[in-house]
Structure 1
């Protein structure tokens, strides 16, 4: 290890000890390149400095692992390979299995789960949904917890499901907003969990193992170790599905190509086997010549064997029973040499005679499992009985060895394990139910959020409308303000006109009354007030003929009517009247039309007191025409 490699290896050891990620088996070239990328991004000068940075910033581990573990996966990646796997591997596999037999599949290095769900869709197409749920278990593993968390949700965007055929997308995914979620009832058959291919024990007894484009990141030594675990995990004849960049040319003792172009390999069964049971061979002549001390040593070993054992001769006589067998079945020294069929142990706890005859005739070992032996109240043991024929060098039958394995403790442990498994399954079902409830709650919350977003948009729209109305009202208010200002100016002008008119009317020496077409008084000047003692506020609005003044107003009707008709010439009238002081006066009354815009709007009545010649009575006066 040179000076450059030593700090890098120390960094890898630090990650292994602190976080449990062992990257020592990865190819150094690609590993160094990815770690260097983080150093450049963080502007860290050396691996030692980066190790210090990791201790100060634990969250950096996540970013580093995401950089090292390039999780590149997709649905139906390399479609031709998936087509071959479905038609030439999985379909024959399903056909060869007995109905109801479990099918176990392992997706190693599953990343965000696309490959595992692709396997689920392919198997579901072959088996149908009901049989798939009952028979199939897909174990999907990875070292990246974040990717596993994403995979468990089974939710993907439009871009991710682009490679899924439309008919499969419709059957196996539910669209939720702009996401596609894998069917919940089928998702339960896909089990996600963390597994480090370098350190953790493999999943066993699998029919198909998919590990695509993962081995290429490891060095040759680590690849060999992982492939050994894959070989152990697969059943005989099981299929290994790799990626395009993986060939296995140097591991033909473990896997043989089934379809090299599609990178599908078959497990090679190991040669050799384990003997069915112990056998006693005729010892050679040299061995027979050994001392009696060796014989005593063998006898002592057989007697003290912790496993109960009885040896019978070929003709059925008891030749040997060790101490454990004597304690278990109550045998004594006098029973040696007796016929085994005459002993209680031959039929209790199990009928052994037929098994002995079968082992002798077939020359094969037999095993009877989980035999219950009740030796007394509260004293029950469970035994596995093994019947082994003893064969000599010439394949002649020497006798039979009966071995009784006490499996009471193992059976108790198995019962406890089964009970624990049942509790674990119940807990898992409860957890699954809780998870579904949480998913339902999450969907409801999502729906509520969408409703709130819709309400917010409506409120925004209403707010915009209110702003528009406010602007219109503001514009209307501005217009009203302008009109109000115009009215104010008009009122001011009108006040000025009225003041001018009052000044004009006040300056006249004659009393002036202006009436409308209905003879109601509209103007009553100050001279009229002085003349008749009737204020303007009392006269305006009253009918002319109803005024209570010293002037005989009823005689004015013809004169006013004549003016209202618009006659060009009207004659003044001389009337005797009484002024406000009670003095008799002579009043000359003249009347002219009041025109407004070419229309007759009333009449103007002028009343003047003076000394008038009688000849003028009833004739118009040129001096007082109005």
Structure 2
């Protein structure tokens, strides 16, 4: 296969076209499985390069639906994974209701609901826990998906026997009503389930959700997109809200925002989190409350400050450099000549990070600030990473004396974190592939089971169709014999008709007078040789033309009233004489006899004009 360009680039062009033309953004999906499914669809339509496939999408609107159905497998079912749903109904839902007041509303979100089975499973589970009336008063279930075709199916809420196999018979009888050979979910409960389109990657999440169900959807996204979606789920959930995932999904690196309730069944609770405790790190005046006198205290402070292993500088309230220890002097090239200079005149004010704004903020807000992930590219290929702490220095009278700036070198820790992050990405990538493979195997198994059942049904239908075809074949053979008899009769009639036409043609040809036959629209349907000789217009030029459009020496406009009477009265017959010019250019007086052309029923069907020169 060759696109005439980089295959990956051609594939990205397809994704870009889908996003620009239909608003579907698949760039966050796992590339390996996504490429495989697009390639599968291309093979089905017999196209082997991405450029031609984009052209195919542009001219075939139905191809979008076929492609989306291939990408969005939409494998779902009522109470899928019964063990997990039993745990949800027995433990999670009762606990969730117990944590809320008896009249508090309950908001549930089924994200990636496909054709609606999951949403209606939630409706049945909450109705069993609350009763019909309390469910209708308190519960709202928001069911969303990116596939409009699946949402249309879900809104109809109509399912066949095969789709209801996972629902216990007593629940089928309680929550579904027979409708045209299928089963429709109860309308009074259906009103509590709201369907709508939502792209988990691009659209804003629904808020204030108590239970969020997103099963076997995250597995299609890459690690970065999964993180983005999970942070949106965290925002959507209320404090202590519950997240219910599919068995093929895990939260490896998001433990800080979700706590596991039941890891085996993939049930998690929104983590309460902890606010970053910045604190107000202020330095107060040294309290002279000692029982003994410590000599040389100022020199001791100066030596201790200078010998600190961490680079540190102090600026005054007027942004003048007051102090710099040995580490700061070595690291930033400061010297004794720089003490007393305004901060804005020093390279330190903008390298490795713009300091003046942070200094002003720390001084104005009288609180400690922390600037993370500061990179200083000292030499090509060599970077230092810092975490900069700024602390306002506040005197006993609450006046801000200055700001202490400490540069913590976190280069080694950063490199370790990068190595760890790389290892985690490798691990998550491998796990994603395992998730994807597991889900695809499950999907393939379900599809194979479905295919076997469909083949069995098709086999029975084919046997029945074969019997019907044999019967139809016998009937067609009999019909064919009858058609042959009819065809022979028609052929004989056609020969007779040809003989009649030849006879009529010979009559018209034999008449020396000019004969014109008109239809009800005054168009010429017959023009004999006498008319050709009289007016110099051939038969093929005249037939089909309107009488009044003929350019001949006969004043046809004078004939219009006469012809109209003949078209209106089946018994009409009259004779008129008109001055005309024949084909030779000579003036002649023409006698014209006009009569009505009658149909078999006696109604006017046209007009006949017989013309011959007078004398």
TM-score calculated relative to the size of structure 2: 0.45
**Higher RCO (CA 8 Å, separation ≥ 6 residues):** 2
Structure having the higher Rg = 1
